[in-house]
Amino acid sequence: MRFQGLTVLITGATGGFGRASAAAFAKEGAALVLSDLDAGALDEVAAELPTEAAVLAGDVVERELHFRLVELAKERFGGLDVAVNNAGIAHEPGRLQTIPEEVARRVIEVDLIAVMWALQAQIPAMDPRGEGRGGAIVNIASTRAYQSEANGEAYAASKGGILALTHALARTLGPAVR
């Protein structure tokens, strides 16, 4: 029960990795705040878990969703201790010159920009109980950031961006990290 008494927020909670993360944190005693696009699927995931879970459906590219998720964590469970920024999408393989603008923009917005919005909401919310514990944020990238495949440039760029964003933020927050 390593996460007993802690609150964990997970975006992309109905997909494979998000769902597995929710199950693992629940097994360790965490209270969960779960988000994804499909409200019905969120309710299904929450019902499967052996812990308390609050759900809020929404699109992670909407900046306000992340602030609402943090508020939900505070209202239901007293704060936010861990965030797993997992929501992500890929695109159909295709040559860079043929990727439609709306597809490239959607991948970058969901996979990278949404993580920036999430961090803006999550960072100030860590350690709301004033116990000096801080918190932990996990930004999910992909091996495609290091070992790209042909015809997946927008996805690789978005995941590489997550690595760069996370590294830069760690440098910025370094003095605050124990």
Q: Which amino acids are annotated catalytic?
A: 155
Q: Which amino acid is at 21?
A: S
Q: Token digits for 139? A: 């930004």
DSSP 51: S
Q: Is 137 exposed, middle or buried (0-12, 13-18, 19+ CB in 10 A)?
A: buried
Nearest residue to 85 via CA among 29, 52, 123: 123
Q: Can you spell out the DSSP letters for 23-41?
A: HHHHHTT-EEEEE-S-HHH
Count Cα neighbours of 154 within 13 Å in the Cβ-side half-sphere: 24
In angstroms, what is the C-alpha Rg of the chain?
A: 16
